[in-house]
Amino acid sequence: MISISVVFPVHNEEENIKKLIQDWHLSLNKSDINHEFIIVEDGSEDETKKIIKELETNYPIVNLSQDKKRGYSKAVVDGIFSSKKKFILCTDSDNQIRPDSLIKNLNKMPKKDEFLIGFRNPRKDPINRIVYSKLFRLFHDILFHSKLKDPSCPFVIGLNETFQKLNKEKLLFMKEGFWWGFVGVCIKQKLRIYEVPIEHFKRDAGEAGYKLKNLIRIIIRNLKGLIKIKLN
């Protein structure tokens, strides 16, 4: 039996979180997968905290709730290093990636020193996010020569022991755009990455994390983070 910790960074997801956990739990149970949900609640200002607390009584949840928002990167890293199962899957809590993406790839689970990363085919995000990713991938390829189709995809699976090898400090160089930095750290540490196509859905509710007007600022900040990873 496969055992897996599913890490969900969560911020202001009151409209998504209940269905998310219910759907993942049902699907993983049907596939006889031993699991825990590491929910890193990052200082939500809506009813997310309350809903997670209610869900704890019926689902295998490890609730890492924060009083203040510390950012996506810190939430993911805290979730990774709190996971106990043999495998770890990191994904987002907006329900754009569904449990079928895991179930369909159970025969491709990564070995030691490997990570499986999804590529969204097609990607169902607002145009500003897609444009940002296409632009930033050019910088990323220049720095790391990754040649990945979708290096910012929030669907990453690896053995727990492989995740534990990652340089925690370097992972936190990226305040935004965490997965770009994650891929860079993996390449620097000579850890293998391979991609699989996954289905991607439009957001059911809530808003994406950044706006078009912030695009240039985000690109500059993330580029500085990638250069720091490259040089250290």
At residue 130 the predicted structure's pLDDT band, cuts being 50, 70 and 90, is: confident
CATH code for the domain in which residue 210 is found: 3.90.550.10
pTM higher than the cut 0.85: yes
Helix ranges restricted to H, 59-126: 72-80, 100-103
Does the pLDDT value for residue 230 go beyond 80? Answer: yes
Report the domain count for the chain.
1
**What pLDDT score does 49 carry?**
96
How far apart, in whole angstroms, are the C-alpha atoms of residue 216 and residue 48?
30
At residue 128 the predicted structure's pLDDT band, cuts being 50, 70 and 90, is: confident
Of the listed ranges 42-51, 69-78, 131-140, 200-209, the one predicted with least confidence: 200-209
How far is Cα of residue 138 from the mean position of the Cα atoms in its chain?
21
**What pLDDT score does 18 carry?**
97
| Structural domain range at position 193 | 3-231
| DSSP notation for 131-182 | HHHHHHHHHHHHHH----S-TT-SEEEEEHHHHTTS-HHHHTT-SS-HHHHH
**What pLDDT score does 123 carry?**
93
Give the other-Cβ count within 10 Å of 48's Cβ.
Answer: 24
